[in-house]
Amino acid sequence: MLEDLHIAPQYDGFIFLADATRNPPVLRPHRHVELELNLVVQGSITYVLGTRRFTFEKGALLWLFPSQRHQLVDRSADARYFVAVFKPEMIDKACHSDRYGRMRNPRIGDEEVLSSTLESRAFHLIQQSMMTLLDDGLDADVLNREAGFGVNDDFSFQHGDPDWLNAGLRHLLLLCWRLQAEPGKRKGEGQLHPSIRKALDLMGRAEEFGPLAELANQCGVSSAYLSRTFHQQVGVTLVRYRNSLRLSRFWERYRGPSQRTMMEAAFDAGFGSYAQFFRVFQDAYGTGPREMLKRE
């Protein structure tokens, strides 16, 4: 699906530091007209693009281009990573020479990821540049709660100094491109079996999850094969992935316009009991749902 990031006209993009202990998982496959840049500063994150899986650890700089439909499928409990996005009109204005023009026509396939594992000096230089752009921005808890661009329909990204942010985003874009190595096979890259790609699609569209045997039958394989191969190729068990999807849907329903109660949102998201919801929530955020929701 084409995601609308709701970036106001005065901004050339936005940036925030995603923290897995505060940031709701957004696991649906999507793309957007903006160029996205991630820098992993702690832990690991895993994306699927088409039939390929990519895992990135600390020091990884990765680019997700507008044509690329991508899906976050897992991240470590301690994952922290910058997410920066850049409007296409800003890229057109900033990138004129041959060195940077390739950003407008990257010649990267829909199932490829342009990425580098940065050397220490380059990593700290980019990290510091990104940290500077967080100054005068919205509170980190707010940005994480809204996944950066807004889970709530009435949310809009804001910054206290749009001119500073825009200048910084332009500098960051060119700096990261200068430090980006040529594309190649990356650590953590793997090809997905067609049944695993189909399982991801089916689970992403399902309103509720039926028995594993039913999902396996739809994918044309046995339950044992699907469970084993999913874990091997995606890097996370089917149970954990389904629970992550439920948690993602919980946040959408809890913060959505219908204003469901916590338990209404949890049951509507597919959790069968409060005990299951509590266990999954605590595993993801290190605290119970009531304690975390009191902070909001």
CATH number reported for the structural domain that contains residue 206 in this entry: 1.10.10.60
Task: Please say which residue of 126, 148, 179 terminates a domain.
Answer: 179
Check whether residue 166 and residue 244 sit in a common domain. no
Domain CATH code at residue 121: 2.60.120.280
pTM of the model: 0.82
Q: Give the separation between CA 196 and CA 231, rounded to whole angstroms.
A: 10
Per-residue pLDDT, 172: 97
Residue 7 lies in a domain: no
Per-residue pLDDT, 214: 92
Check whether residue 211 and residue 142 sit in a common domain. no
Check whether residue 99 and residue 76 sit in a common domain. yes
Per-residue pLDDT, 219: 94
Check whether residue 45 and residue 153 sit in a common domain. yes
Residue 258 lies in a domain: yes
Per-residue pLDDT, 184: 43
**pLDDT under 70 in the chain at which residues?**
151-152, 181-189, 259, 294-296
Longest dimension (CA), the chain: 58
Residue 50 lies in a domain: yes
Q: How many domains does the chain have?
A: 2
Of the candidates 30, 33, 104, the one whose C-alpha atom is nearest the C-alpha of residue 69 is 30
Check whether residue 228 and residue 134 sit in a common domain. no
Residue 264: alpha-carbon gap to chain centroid: 26
Check whether residue 109 and residue 231 sit in a common domain. no
Angle 101-107-111 from CA coordinates, rounded to 5°: 140
Per-residue pLDDT, 151: 67
Per-residue pLDDT, 206: 78
202-261 pLDDT tens trace? 888 877 788 889 999 999 999 999 999 999 888 889 988 888 888 888 887 887 777 678
Task: Please say which residue of 179, 206, 223 terminates a domain.
Answer: 179
Check whether residue 170 and residue 227 sit in a common domain. no
Q: Give the separation between CA 113 and CA 24, rounded to whole angstroms.
A: 24
| Cβ(130)–Cβ(6) below 8 Å | no
Q: Give the separation between CA 112 and CA 135, rounded to whole angstroms.
A: 33
Residue 125 lies in a domain: yes
- Kindly give, in sequence order, each residue whose CB lies less than 8 Å from that of residue 45, ignoring residues fewer than 6 positions away: 38, 55, 56, 72, 74, 75, 76, 79, 81
Q: What element of type H or E holds 197?
A: helix 194-205
Containing structural domain, residue 62: 13-179
Check whether residue 228 and residue 264 sit in a common domain. yes
Check whether residue 262 and residue 143 sit in a common domain. no
Task: Please say which residue of 153, 179, 205 terminates a domain.
Answer: 179
Check whether residue 149 and residue 18 sit in a common domain. yes
Per-residue pLDDT, 164: 96
Residue 129 lies in a domain: yes
Per-residue pLDDT, 126: 96
| Cross-sheet strand order for the sheet of 114-117 | 13-19, 80-86, 35-42, 60-64, 114-117
- Kindly give, in sequence order, each residue whose CB lies less than 8 Å from that of residue 52, ignoring residues fewer than 6 positions away: 111, 112, 189, 190, 191, 192
Check whether residue 166 and residue 207 sit in a common domain. no
Residue 142 lies in a domain: yes
Residue 210 lies in a domain: yes
Check whether residue 154 and residue 232 sit in a common domain. no
